[in-house]
Amino acid sequence: MKIKDIQFEVRSFRFEEPMKVAFATIVDMETCLVRMTTDEGITGFGEAAPFSYVTGDNLETVISVGNDIGKALIGMDPRAIGAIHRVMDSMYAGNGAIKAGIDIACYDIAAKSAGVPLYKYLGGDDPHIHSDVTIGINEPGAMAADAKSWVDKGFEIIKVKLGEDIATDAERIRAIRETVGSDIKIRIDANQGWSIKDTVIISRRLAELGVDLIEQPVRDFDFEGLREIKNSTDVLIAADESCHSIHDASRLASMRAVDVVNIKLMKCGGIYNAIKIAAICEGAGIPCMIGCMGESTLGNLAGMHLAAATDNIKEVDLDSVYILKQEDVYGGFDHCGGHVTLWDAPGIGCIVKGE
Ligand SMILES: [Mg+2]
């Protein structure tokens, strides 16, 4: 089987509500749909969702790098995923989002060609996963109301964006905990917004409020800071922006800098590298989470299939599908609150309007 053509198509979505995180307020997302066709008539779809604050790329670079890499991949077997990544990496460092978009399209084709859902192609046998849902930074009362509305919809794990002054941040969690009760799991993402000292101080208060995990409290480069915090608190410490590659994962593991690593397809360049990161962490006894970067149904589904197939992906944070308004790609999974069941359809399994 050979790749015959790769097309890149810009798509825009609005968030249901603006999503405020420590470093930005995000109102809409522009992503790139990757459409890959083969000489055997199989079409694969991928999604590249650049997020310049974290990945350093944007839609313009995604399209131009994608067109350049795309030319080099014509004629290659999309199932030869190691060879595809070697070509992409030989041409461009970084650029995780477009590499992920191409990687996902290749896996979609490979699983369709094998006639199985992607999670089975990746070695899994259980189509069920359980995701959290994220609420953005706002006034404490508004965040509590937001959390309550998700709990009313059946979600049992709430991820809360923080990363401002720690007194207000602690008040936000107090308000949410009072509103949702003690049975709901609450985890925090500070998106690099705190200092080491502030994190150690607030982690005591957050532990009392039943928070079990703090993600990326300090700047992405500060691996020593993460380790210092991890050794000073009972709350689990997770790396997100600090882990883009197998090399980051390896360093975090050897330094024993964190308790959990949050893998994102758009940071690491797709499923192929995500599997490697999960394995590196598994070898070091570090469980992984899989998160998302504002991608739509398609990108979220790729992560869901990977999570369903990968033992060491223990936590799932694939929720942009619930907070973006988008209609051109749909299906692929059913959900009851955060409990997801993947469809038993070949490949990623979503329906692309007009295809
Ligand atoms: Mg994060």
Q: Is 276 considered catalytic here?
A: no
User: How far is ligand 1, taken at its centre, from the CA of residue 322, in Å?
Assistant: 17
User: How far is ligand 1, taken at its centre, from the CA of residue 262, in Å?
Assistant: 7
Query: Which pLDDT score is estimated for 271?
Result: 98
Query: Which pLDDT score is estimated for 327?
Result: 76
Integer angstrom CA distances of residue 179 from 88, 150, 154, 169, 176: 48, 12, 15, 16, 5
Q: Which of 112, 120, 159, 161 is catalytic?
A: 161
Query: Which pLDDT score is estimated for 220?
Result: 97
Q: Is 240 considered catalytic here?
A: yes
User: How far is ligand 1, taken at its centre, from the CA of residue 39, in Å?
Assistant: 39
CA 294 to chain centre: 8
- Give the span between the Cα atoms of 155 and 178, in whole angstroms: 16
User: How far is ligand 1, taken at its centre, from the CA of residue 125, in Å?
Assistant: 28
pTM of the model: 0.96
Helix, strand, coil % in the chain, rounded to nearest 5 = 40, 25, 30
Q: Is 215 considered catalytic here?
A: yes
- Give, as one character, the DSSP assignment of residue 303: H
Query: Which pLDDT score is estimated for 325?
Result: 82
DSSP 144-201: HHHHHHHHHTT--EEEEE--S-HHHHHHHHHHHHHHH-SSSEEEEE-TT-S-HHHHHH
82 touches 272 (CB < 8 A): yes
Q: Is 2 considered catalytic here?
A: no
258 touches 264 (CB < 8 A): no
Q: Which of 103, 108, 146, 215 is catalytic?
A: 215
Domains of the chain: 3-115 (3.30.390.10), 120-352 (3.20.20.120)
Q: Which of 132, 169, 240, 295 is catalytic?
A: 240
- Give the span between the Cα atoms of 266 and 229, in whole angstroms: 27
Run means of pLDDT, 10 residues per run, the chain, 355 residues: 97 86 86 97 97 92 98 98 98 97 98 98 98 96 97 97 96 98 97 97 97 98 98 97 98 98 98 98 98 92 98 96 84 96 97 84
Q: Is 228 considered catalytic here?
A: no
Q: Which of 264, 295, 317, 319 is catalytic?
A: 264
Read off the amino acid at residue 307: A
Query: Which pLDDT score is estimated for 71?
Result: 98
User: How far is ligand 1, taken at its centre, from the CA of residue 160, in Å?
Assistant: 10
Q: Which residue's structure tokens are 């397809």?
A: 265
Query: Which pLDDT score is estimated for 332?
Result: 96
Q: Which of 189, 222, 228, 241 is catalytic?
A: 189
User: How far is ligand 1, taken at its centre, from the CA of residue 73, in Å?
Assistant: 32
User: How far is ligand 1, taken at its centre, from the CA of residue 240, in Å?
Assistant: 5
Residues 6 or more apart in contact with residue 210 via CB below 8 angstroms: 177, 182, 186
Query: Which pLDDT score is estimated for 285?
Result: 98
284 touches 89 (CB < 8 A): no
| Number of H-type helices and E-type strands within the chain | 14, 17
User: How far is ligand 1, taken at its centre, from the CA of residue 27, in Å?
Assistant: 17
